[in-house]
Amino acid sequence: MSTAAVSEEPHVALDGVIRQYDGPPAVHALGPIDLAIRRGEFFSVVGPSGCGKSTLLDVLCGLARPTSGSVRFEGRELHGEVPDGIGVVFQEDASMPWLSVRQNVAFGLRTSNLSPKEVAERVDHAVSFMGLAQFAGHYPAQLSGGMRQRVCIARTLVLRPRLILLDEPFGALDQQTRLLMGDELLRLWCETGATVLLITHALDEAAMLSDRVGVMSARPGRFIDMVETGWPRNRDSRIVSDPEFGTVTARLWSSLREESLKTMGRAA
């Protein structure tokens, strides 16, 4: 049973959200989506490629406006601008090549009103939390892909966001690194108490890390299944040895398999 703090109002609420692009050709990319994410929940989204997962993220943080329906964050509706309190880790490497690791992490706080001392404290904490203390003076070009993603996560962490969105952040990494990064993510989640939404194509990752997993259909993406995992709050990648893990993954795949085949152009 999830012991995350539950408040009456969902932290993030999507109501009948549809996202369409004008043509030519017109594309119905997403929706209708109805989704309520609890405060402090770790929620993952899986789905076939091209189903609109990234569009969902854009809509959730205010980078894109829904064509219809509403997006509410902490009770307030989003109108196409990014509200305070949301941190995003993108799929592509968003580290700034001209700044050192420290400077990259500190970048998020440039517009804040914090004193230099406070900024330094937060940056130091984020850098060591993500295991980058040794490389604080290095530049992204000198680091591996996994480490660059850690820099991006540290940069997000430093802002103390209440909602963290991650779009396939470990996509380019090898399996072992992914598993370890998954553990890092769980540590981050426990430490900050933030609500986390993870988009991933890896079913085992979703099953391992989340309180709940939403399965999206092929485009236009809609949720066709919601799976509650029931994991305890302080968990790590070793949850894979729990017998329930296989069940969860199997259920995800059985929901997803048909949709994936559709995307590949074959009958189920």
SS3 160: coil
Part in contact with another protein (CB under 8 A); list of ranges 6-14, 87-95, 122-130, 206-214 = 87-95
Q: Least Å distance between CB 168 and another protein?
A: 12
Positive or negative, the Cα torsion across 188, 192, 198, 203? positive
Q: What contacts 138, CB < 8 A, 6 or more positions away?
A: 100, 101
**107 is a contact residue toward another protein (CB under 8 A):** yes
Tokens of 15: 């109501």
Binding another protein (rule: CB under 8 A), the pick from 98, 115, 117, 234 is 98
- Class of residue 134 by CB neighbours under 10 A (exposed 0-12, middle 13-18, buried 19+): exposed
Query: Rounded to an integer, what distance in angstroms lies between the CA atom of residue 264 and that of residue 198?
Result: 24
CB nearer another protein, residue 97 or residue 131: 97
- Which residue in the set 15, 74, 93, 258 belongs to the binding site for another protein (CB under 8 A)? 93
> In this chain, which of 14, 37, 51, 86 binds another protein, going by CB under 8 A?
86
8-state DSSP, 37: E
Query: Tokens 């998954």 belong to which residue?
Result: 182
Residue 145-174 contact track with another protein, rule CB under 8 A, x = bound: --------------x---------------
Residue 200 in tokens:
């991933």
Q: Taking the complex as a whole, how short is the minimal distance between the CB of residue 63 and another protein, in angstroms?
A: 6
Does residue 24 belong to the site contacting another protein (CB under 8 A)?
Answer: yes
In angstroms, the CA 151 to CA 11 distance is 26
**Selected range binding another protein among 69-77, 82-90, 173-181, 219-227, rule: CB under 8 A:** 82-90
Q: Is 82 in the site for another protein (CB under 8 A)?
A: yes
Other Cβ atoms less than 10 A from the Cβ of 29: the count is: 21
Residues at the site binding another protein, with contacts judged by CB under 8 A: 24, 61, 63, 81-82, 84, 86-88, 90, 92-94, 96-99, 107-108, 110-111, 139-141, 159
